[in-house]
Amino acid sequence: MSNSPDKIIILGGKGMLGTDVASECKSRGIDYEVFDLPEFDITNEHQLLSLIHPAHTIVNCAAYTNVEKAETETELAFRVNAEAVRMLALSARKSDAWVLHISTDFVFDGTSDKPYTEKDIPHPINAYGRTKLAGERLLTENHCHYCIMRVEWTYGRNGDNFINKIIQKARTLASAKPGEAGQKEMKVVDDQIGSPTATTEAARAICDLISKKPTGIYHFASQRYASRLEVARFIAEKLNLGVQLAPCKTSDFPSAAARPLNSRFDCSKIRPLLNGPIKPWQVSLEEFLKQAQS
Ligand X SMILES: NC(=O)c1ccc[n+]([C@@H]2O[C@H](COP(=O)([O-])OP(=O)(O)OC[C@H]3O[C@@H](n4cnc5c(N)ncnc54)[C@H](OP(=O)(O)O)[C@@H]3O)[C@@H](O)[C@H]2O)c1
> Can you tell me whether residue 216 is helix, strand or coil?
strand
Q: Transcribe 130-170 into DSSP letters.
A: HHHHHHHHHHHHTT-EEEEEEE-SEE-TTS--HHHHHHHHH
- Binding of ligand X at residue 18 (CB under 6 A)? yes
Closest residue to ligand X, based on beta-carbon distance: 15
- Binding of ligand X at residue 63 (CB under 6 A)? yes
- Binding of ligand X at residue 125 (CB under 6 A)? no
What does the alpha-carbon distance between residue 290 and residue 134 come to, in Å, rounded to a whole number? 38
Among 7, 8, 9, 12, binds ligand X (CB under 6 A): 12
What does the alpha-carbon distance between residue 88 and residue 50 come to, in Å, rounded to a whole number? 11
Q: Which stretch binds ligand X (CB under 6 A): 59-67, 139-147, 186-194, 244-252?
A: 59-67
Binding positions for ligand X, 212-271, rule CB under 6 A = none
- Binding of ligand X at residue 163 (CB under 6 A)? no
Size of interface with ligand X, in residues (CB under 6 A): 27
Binding positions for ligand X, 190-219, rule CB under 6 A = none
**Contacts of 254 by beta carbon, 8 Å cutoff, 6+ apart:** none
Return the half-sphere exposure (C-beta side, CA atoms, 13 A cut-off) of residue 158: 14
What does the alpha-carbon distance between residue 138 and residue 132 come to, in Å, rounded to a whole number? 10
19 versus 173: smaller Cβ distance to ligand X: 19
- Binding of ligand X at residue 154 (CB under 6 A)? yes
173 versus 222: smaller Cβ distance to ligand X: 222
- Binding of ligand X at residue 45 (CB under 6 A)? no
DSSP β-bridge partners for residue 218 = 149
Q: Transcribe 94-127 into DSSP letters.
A: HHT-EEEEEEEGGGS-S--SSPBPTTSPP---SH
Binding positions for ligand X, 76-105, rule CB under 6 A = 80, 102, 104
- Binding of ligand X at residue 64 (CB under 6 A)? yes
- Binding of ligand X at residue 37 (CB under 6 A)? yes
Among 9, 10, 14, 243, binds ligand X (CB under 6 A): 14
What does the alpha-carbon distance between residue 263 and residue 253 come to, in Å, rounded to a whole number? 18
What residue ranges bind ligand X (CB under 6 A)?
12, 14-18, 36-37, 40-43, 61-65, 80, 102, 104, 132, 151-154, 159, 161
